Homo-oligomer: A and B are copies of this chain.
Amino acid sequence: MNFAARLDKVETSAIRELFKLLGKPGIISFAGGFPDSAMFDVEGLREASRLALAEQPGAALQYGATEGYDPLRAELAAFLRAKGVERIDPSGLIVTTGSQQALDLLGKTLVDPGDKVIVEGPTFLATIQCFRLYGAEVISAPIDGEGVRVDRLEELIVQHRPKFIYLIPTFGNPSGALLGLERRRRVLELAVRHQVLVVEDDPYGDLYFDAAPPPSLLALSESVPGSRDWIAYCGSLSKVLSPGLRVGWLAAPSELLARATMCKQFSDAHTSTFAQATAAQYLKAGRMPATLAHVREIYGQRARTMGEALRRELGDAIAFTQPQGGLFFWARLTGAGGKLADASELARRAIGEGVAFVPGAPFFATEPDTSALRLSFATAGLEQIEEGVKRLARALA
């Protein structure tokens, strides 16, 4: 059978191969990219799904509009308004099958083979592959502890004239980095100056541990003249409520949103109305603030515990910025004291010691940093985190 040439551009990731090893008994995993299922508000979702089938069973189980289930679109618009996006109404967003589908629709809608797309180096792996499947040449803009380096970003925009720029400005995957307020303004100014679309992926913005992060690019765009026309925002309930619902959304300028909707019509017709009606009932019930407060507290404890353990057990052999939210530590092996500086080799040794993490190199579209690694603290308890970091130290020794 002859497959399409676009498949030659992507591969099943090295990370997927690693995940096959995680079934090993007794292994402590810092490798995942998912939230802790022990924190799902099962009771709240059970009640929400019950109400969805009690109040409007026909609508919850029937075909629905490609744009999404109206009561959910209204709740999501209110959710964004509560986070500082003043000018948003339900017609300004469409519901997607997870935010992964929002990325896919942006690729389908915007990318011609050979088009350039700028992403952070490192960025979310599935994004790189998703855009490459539409023929994009993916360019990396370097980051530091405060997110993307805006000076370098502008140079790359001028050099490559990209179709769009994809950023995870708030507690990025895998970087964990938080783009500062001043850099956010500059990104929006760049968008206007160079007339280039900025895609803001924001699955982690609600998962802050202490102070709330700066406003999203979408929220901030209202105070940077002209920039709202150049922002597409991908949101998701996956990290804060439940990935299994597959409910995300795309807010974008109307012309782009209309075309993404047309593409969605031929991708999956619409997102599960049953899942959408359940999510709508959940948001309407007002349980989200308490759920968010809970997950912020637990993830915050885990992040502090992991940071302290890493400093204590690995010392100057590892360097990282303590994350202020999200699910990830992004660290670099320094090689200090002649210790191992190759994260892939460490990952192999670590499996032998009974701890797993993901080496950082695959997260780079170009110029991989082989000393980088990603550690998730999301699904391990405090004692597991302490023990896992000790194992990591043994693997490094």
Residues of A within 8 A of B (CB): 1-7, 10, 12, 34-35, 37-38, 40, 42, 45-46, 49-50, 53-54, 57-64, 96-98, 100-101, 103-104, 108-112, 115, 126, 129-130, 133-134, 163, 197, 238, 242-246, 253, 255-256, 259, 262-263, 265-275, 277-278
Cα A96 to Cα B267 with chains together (Å): 11
Q: Which partner residue on chain B sits nearest A196 by CB separation?
A: B1
Given A63-B244, A244-B277, A274-B278, 17 additional A-B pairs, CB 8 A? A1-B253, A1-B255, A1-B256, A4-B108, A10-B266, A34-B63, A38-B58, A49-B274, A62-B243, A97-B97, A133-B263, A244-B274, A246-B270, A268-B268, A272-B272, A274-B275, A275-B275
A63, A109, A110, A163: residue with the most chain B Cβ atoms closer than 10 Å: A63
Interface of A is mostly: helix
In contact, A40 and B12 (Cβ under 8 angstroms): no
Contact partners of A40 in chain B: CB under 8 A: 57-58, 61-62
In contact, B63 and A266 (Cβ under 8 angstroms): no
Cα A267 to Cα B248 with chains together (Å): 13
Chain B: minimal CB distance from A238 (Å):
8
Cα A7 to Cα B101 with chains together (Å): 17
In contact, B62 and A244 (Cβ under 8 angstroms): yes
23 contacts between A and B (CB under 8 A): A1-B255, A2-B163, A3-B110, A4-B109, A4-B111, A6-B108, A7-B109, A7-B263, A10-B262, A37-B62, A45-B61, A46-B54, A60-B244, A100-B267, A100-B268, A126-B265, A129-B265, A129-B266, A244-B274, A246-B268, A246-B272, A272-B272, A272-B274
Q: Which partner residue on chain B sits nearest A232 by CB separation?
A: B1
In contact, B266 and A244 (Cβ under 8 angstroms): no
Contact partners of A100 in chain B: CB under 8 A: 266-269
Cα A37 to Cα B273 with chains together (Å): 13
Contact partners of A42 in chain B: CB under 8 A: 53, 57, 61
Q: Which partner residue on chain B sits nearest A35 by CB separation?
A: B62
Q: Which partner residue on chain B sits nearest A115 by CB separation?
A: B4
Oligomer copy total: 2
In contact, A98 and B268 (Cβ under 8 angstroms): yes
Kindly identify which residue among B61, B103, B115, B272 contacts A97, using a CB–CB cutoff of 8 Å. Answer: B272
Kindly identify which residue among B1, B5, B134, B242 contacts A61, using a CB–CB cutoff of 8 Å. Answer: B242
In contact, B7 and A259 (Cβ under 8 angstroms): yes
Q: Which partner residue on chain B sits nearest A277 by CB separation?
A: B244
In contact, A53 and B46 (Cβ under 8 angstroms): yes
Contact partners of A246 in chain B: CB under 8 A: 97, 268-273
Contact partners of A267 in chain B: CB under 8 A: 100-101, 104, 130, 267
Cα A248 to Cα B124 with chains together (Å): 28
Chain B: minimal CB distance from A94 (Å):
14
Kindly identify which residue among B7, B103, B278 contacts A262, using a CB–CB cutoff of 8 Å. Answer: B7
Contact partners of A104 in chain B: CB under 8 A: 266-268
Cα A5 to Cα B255 with chains together (Å): 15
Cα A268 to Cα B250 with chains together (Å): 13
Q: Which partner residue on chain B sits nearest A96 by CB separation?
A: B268
Contact partners of A57 in chain B: CB under 8 A: 37, 40, 42
Contact partners of A263 in chain B: CB under 8 A: 7, 133
In contact, B109 and A3 (Cβ under 8 angstroms): yes
Cα A256 to Cα B1 with chains together (Å): 8
In contact, A61 and B245 (Cβ under 8 angstroms): yes
